[in-house]
Amino acid sequence: MKTNPESENLDPKDVELMRFMDGLDPHDHPEWLEEKAAAQQLGQLLRSHLPSHAEPPSAEFFTSQIMAQIAPTGPARAGVSARSGFMDIFRRWCAPLATAAAVLVVGGMVMKRQSPGGGREAFAYTPIANVKATLDFNKDAGATVINLTGLTAIPDAREIKAFNVASTGAVAPGATQRFYAANDPDILLFVLHATDDGGPQIREVH
Amino acid sequence: MRSRLAILLLTLALTMAVRADDDDDPPTVEAQVDGLLFFATNDTVPTATEGAKEAEKSVPAATMASLRTRLAKAFPQKNYQLLGLHTQNLLKDYESWVVPSKELCLKIDSRGAAANGGINLHLQLWQEKKVLVKSDTILKPGQPIFIGGPDWRKGRLIFVVMLK
**Closest CB from B51, B143, B152 relative to A164:** B51
Cα gap B49→A93, rounded to integer Å: 64
Contact A51, A105 (CB under 8 A): no
A128: pLDDT strictly greater than 60? yes
Inter-chain CB proximity B126 and A201 less than 8 Å: no
Quickly state the pLDDT bin for B63 (edges 50, 70, 90).
Answer: very high
Structure confidence by residue, pLDDT tens digits, A168-191: 887 777 788 899 999 899 999 989
Average pLDDT value for chain A? 71
Query: Which residue among B71, B84, B145 sits closest to A164, beta carbon to beta carbon?
Result: B84
Q: Which backbone phi and psi does A94 adopt, to 5 degrees?
A: -85, -25
Residues of B whose CB is below 8 A from A141 = 70-71, 73-74, 146
Q: Are strands A177-181 and B119-127 parallel, antiparallel or unpaired?
A: unpaired
**Pairing, β A143-149 against β B145-152:** parallel
Residue B22 has pLDDT above 80, yes or no: no
Q: Which chain A positions have a beta carbon within 8 Å of B77's beta carbon?
A: none
What does the DSSP 8-state code read for residue A4?
-
Ranked by mean pLDDT, the top range of A81-85, B27-31, B137-141 is B137-141
B88 vs B8, more confident: B88
Residue A101, pLDDT above cutoff 90: no
CB A119 within 8 A of CB B120: yes
Which residue does chain A place closest to B73, by CA atoms?
A141
Given an 8 Å threshold on Cβ–Cβ distance, is A141 in contact with B32? no
Are A177 and B97 in contact (CB < 8 Å)? Answer: yes
Q: Where are the domains of chain A?
A: 5-112, 160-206
Integer Cα distance of B78 and A140 in angstroms: 16
Q: Where is average pLDDT lowest: A48-62, A78-92, A155-169? A: A78-92
Please compute the mean of the pLDDT values over residues B70-98 and round it to a whole number: 94
Q: Minimal CA–CA distance to B58: which of B89, B90, B82, B75?
A: B82
Quick check: A152 and B150 in contact, CB under 8 A? Answer: yes
Per this entry, what is the length of chain B? 164
DSSP run (H or E) holding A114: none
Chain A residue whose CA is closest to B81 = A162
pLDDT score for A77: 38
pLDDT, tens only, B128-157: 889 999 999 999 999 999 999 999 999 999
DSSP A144-182: EEEEEESPPPBPTT----B-EE-------TT--EEEEET
Helix axes A86-112, A12-21, angle to 10 degrees: 30
CB contact under 8 A, B146 and A61: no
Q: Which of A81-85, B45-49, B149-153 ranks highest by mean pLDDT?
A: B149-153
- AA identity, residue A140: D
Residue B13 distance to chain A (closest CA, Å): 25
Does residue A53 have a pLDDT over 50? no
Q: Please state whether A23 falls in left (phi above 0), alpha (psi between -120 and 50) or beta.
A: left
Confidence of residue A116 (pLDDT cuts 50, 70, 90): very low
Nearest residue of B to residue A157, measured between CA atoms:
B153
Contacts of A58 in chain B (CB under 8 A): 134, 136
Partners of residue B102 in chain A, C-beta under 8 Å: 161, 190, 202, 204
Cα–Cα distance, A41 to B59 (Å, whole number): 60
Query: Which pLDDT tens digit goes with each residue over B115-135?
Result: 888 999 999 999 988 999 999
* Helical segments of B25-152, H only: 50-58, 61-74
Helix axes A59-70, A86-112, angle to 10 degrees: 140
